[in-house]
Chain A
Amino acid sequence: MSASDVVVRNGLVFWRGWRASFFLSVLSPVMFLSAMGLGLGSLVDEGQSFGGVTYLQFFATGILASSAMQSGVFSATYPVLSKIMWQRNYEAMLASPLSVRDILFGELGWGALTLTQLSVPFFVVMSIMGIFDSWTAVATIPVVILVGLSCAAPVFAFTATLQTDEAYTWIFRFIVTPLFLLSGTFFPIQELPAWGQVVAHATPLFHGVELVRQLTIYDIEPSALWHLGYLLALLGIGVTLGLRNLEKRLMA
């Protein structure tokens, strides 16, 4: 009995709705890419503003990272709170030989699988559209999974302290949406005012977007290590806090 059992359990629940859900999860990014990258992008005067790549390339790589953030954050909100206090699945799991640690790592493992399921088709579509310039692009899939998990883990820790789901409205409206729009996904953060750039540098999505772009359309620079380090550190902090909070919540 271990974390892998939690992964298997979630997989069984997921399996029923899989086909429809898979189709839909591929369709949305494709539509978004066509509308923004091709439609809006055809209006954009590219020049050198986007580091010598087309707006479609710039935008698509940003969206790859940010859809991982959105999926990661979502997976740590309602589904987890539901298993803590509405359906109380975790209580049932703890009555088995599973530990709190198994639950958390199981959920993250499952998160990694859903992120793979999201990013691989997206990656294939982007390759077909000729967006990638470099063979290092294959490394983006694990990076994208890391981005999703780094965003999910701290939110998981936060969810473990919640009594109602009200806070999620705030998280999505005032954290996830602004991050999605302003972390360098739609336009380079150099266009932001100075304070905005400082804020952007502190957000995980900015680091994820930069890392993805270095691997796919720009040259890899030493700063890649710093971006990677930031995401790993955030994941570490999130997991540590998550374990502590979930332990407190379920063992109380």
Chain B
Amino acid sequence: MAAEVATARDQPVSVHRALKLVRRNLLAYKHFWIAFVSGFFEPFFYLVAVGFGVGQFIDDVSFVGAQIEYATFLAPGLLAASTLNGAIFDGFFTPFFKLNWMKTYDGIVTTPVSIPDIAVGEVVWATIRGTIYGTGFLAVMLSLGLIHSPWALLGIPAVMLSAGALSAGAMILTGFTKQISSLEKVMTLIVFPLFLFSGTFFPVSLYPRVLQPVVQATPLYHAATLLRSLTTGEVSPATLGHVAYLAGMLILAGAIAIRLMRRRLVS
């Protein structure tokens, strides 16, 4: 019996079994629909306050050579930032509690669902949620006149890619953390600086020259710039570079997350 469990949990990922975990999350989430619906509003409030409120005092901003209105600049940045928040919630907060407190995964690995299935299932779940939010926010942008190109249609797969890459990154954090105090540390030392300093609120060109490459190395910078290129129509070969960064991160971070989760669940 023990041997069977050991082989089951080490199985490589199967789409069918990973989707079982997605279904489990959906069932568990039914009770928290308020939290789900209210998640739409956070980026919207920021858009109103900063994009339109503060934006009235801001001249056009330059973005890859074009001059665009501040709200047009900010909105795709907030879209990317809300994808990050969703990824942290679904890829780190919830898995953190399942792993360390509720021991949900300890139960799951005794079934035919393997450890890679768990990691992939959580990332798929986070991606689905992120895509729903992102699509909603793109619709809000459209209704507010902040979308200036049909390229924005590709914004939906771009949000999917960003959500996948960021939540795979968030799963790495899950693999590293055990203490409840880590949540606050991760928020203050990783999530909050990314949110503020990834070219979301103001262009990278405003940073001192030495800091610009640092900003350009962050995943949120690539997600924000990719989405901004699509919604403004300023698409160039460099846009593919952002896609490649995020796709690479998804694969690499996913592989690391599976290894870390295995270390945590088999000991």
Contact = CB atoms under 8 A, between A and B. Distances in A.
A190 B245 CA distance: 43
Contacts of B41: 173-174, 177
A36 B45 contact: no
B46 to A, nearest CB: 7
Given A20-B185, A21-B184, A187-B49, A44 B57 contact: yes
Interface string A175-197: 00110011000110001100000
A173 B49 contact: no
Contact of A43 (B34, B38, B42, B70): B70
Given A35-B196, A169-B35, A43 B184 contact: no
B49 A182 contact: yes
B201 A35 contact: yes
B115 to A, nearest CB: 31
B36 to A, nearest CB: 10
Interface residues of A, number: 34
A177 B206 CA distance: 27
A86 interface: no
A144 to B, nearest CB: 21
A244 B129 CA distance: 42
Contacts of B197: 31, 35, 39
Contacts of B201: 35-36, 39-40
B50 A40 contact: yes
A232 to B, nearest CB: 28
Interface centre among B38, B45, B54, by most chain A C-beta atoms within 10 angstroms, is B54
A49 B57 contact: yes
B49 A169 contact: no
Contact of B34 (A40, A44, A47, A166): A166
A46 interface: yes
A43 B192 contact: no
Interface in B134-192: 181, 184-185, 188-189, 192
Contacts of A182: 45, 48-49, 53
User: Most B CB atoms within 10 A — which of A17, A28, A34?
Assistant: A28
Contact of B181 (A17, A32, A166, A191): A17
A24 B38 CA distance: 27
Choose among A46, A47, A182, A187 the residue with the greatest number of B CB atoms under 10 Å from its CB. Answer: A187
Contact of A39 (B49, B181, B184, B202): B202
B59 interface: yes
Interface string B197-213: 10001100011000000
A46 B56 CA distance: 11
B102 to A, nearest CB: 15
Contacts of B65: none
A21 B189 CA distance: 12
A186 B59 CA distance: 17
A177 B188 contact: no
B38 A44 contact: no
B61 A181 contact: no
Contacts of B189: 24, 27
B202 A43 contact: yes
A221 interface: no
B58 interface: yes
A43 B71 CA distance: 13
Given A35-B196, A35-B197, A186-B54, A43 B45 contact: no
The 10 closest A-B pairs by CB, nearest first: A181-B49, A35-B196, A187-B53, A173-B38, A24-B188, A39-B202, A44-B57, A43-B58, A186-B49, A169-B35
21 contacts: A20-B184, A20-B185, A24-B188, A32-B192, A32-B196, A36-B201, A39-B206, A39-B207, A40-B50, A43-B202, A46-B57, A49-B57, A169-B35, A173-B39, A173-B41, A174-B38, A177-B45, A181-B49, A186-B50, A191-B56, A192-B53
Given A39-B201, A39-B206, A49-B57, 18 more contacts: A20-B184, A24-B184, A24-B188, A28-B188, A31-B197, A36-B196, A39-B202, A40-B50, A43-B58, A46-B57, A47-B57, A55-B57, A170-B34, A173-B39, A177-B41, A181-B46, A187-B53, A187-B56
Interface of B: 34-35, 38-39, 41-42, 45-46, 48-50, 53-54, 56-59, 61, 70, 181, 184-185, 188-189, 192-193, 196-197, 201-202, 206-207
